[in-house]
């Protein structure tokens, strides 16, 4: 999926960074990329002293996509903690930046569960926080993510998914 990460730089100014994320991955039978990707990820795990949280996902896939672009599932978004907090508030600069930079319909959202337990702008990203974001998205929140209407999810592919990988087994 294409990730639009809204974060704050060292000067606390908001930034929007577009990357490729592995939270939604679909492969068709016979696609050699999956075997390559699995092998490369396992190799990174064996050969590096330490792996960062986005090394085998966002960083690796973004580099690969830059060298050899591949199809991206549209409609799935990554909601950074700053966007989530503004979404809960009903407005804010991170949400406005997301709205201005995001292209297309919002059909599903990754809430960055790996951020659970962290404190962002004084708010603890605990289980209750994520429950509130989900409640918001089920209500008016999904419409806040884009000026365009939120559609019911429709797959962009015409072949059945063969393999699903849980990044956190």
Write out pLDDT tens, residues 22-40.
888 888 888 888 899 999 9
pLDDT at 101: 86
pLDDT band at 147 (very low <50, low <70, confident <90, very high): low
pLDDT at 106: 83
Distance of alpha carbon 142 from alpha carbon 159, whole angstroms: 28
pLDDT computed for residue 89 by the predictor? 92
**Cα–Cα distances in Å, from 129 out to 50, 66, 78, 112, 166?**
30, 34, 16, 12, 23
Q: Check whether 164 has a pLDDT greater than 70.
A: no
- pLDDT (0 to 100) of residue 152: 39
The pLDDT of residue 140: 77
């Amino acid at each position: 999926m294409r990730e639009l990460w809204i974060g704050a730089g060292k000067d606390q100014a908001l930034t929007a960074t577009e990357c490729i994320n592995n939270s939604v991955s679909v492969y068709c039978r016979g696609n050699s990329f999956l075997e390559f990707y699995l092998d490369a990820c396992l190799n990174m795990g064996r050969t590096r002293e330490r792996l960062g949280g986005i090394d085998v996902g966002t960083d690796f896939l973004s580099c690969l996509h830059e060298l050899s672009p591949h199809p991206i599932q549209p409609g799935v978004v990554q909601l950074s903690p700053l966007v989530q907090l503004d979404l809960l508030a009903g407005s804010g600069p991170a949400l406005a930046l997301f709205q201005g930079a995001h292209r297309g319909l919002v059909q599903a959202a990754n809430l960055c569960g790996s951020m659970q337990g962290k404190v962002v702008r004084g708010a603890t990203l605990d289980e209750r926080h994520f429950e509130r974001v989900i409640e918001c998205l089920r209500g008016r929140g999904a419409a806040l993510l884009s000026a365009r209407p939120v559609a019911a999810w429709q797959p962009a592919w015409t072949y059945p998914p063969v393999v699903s990988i849980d990044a956190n087994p």
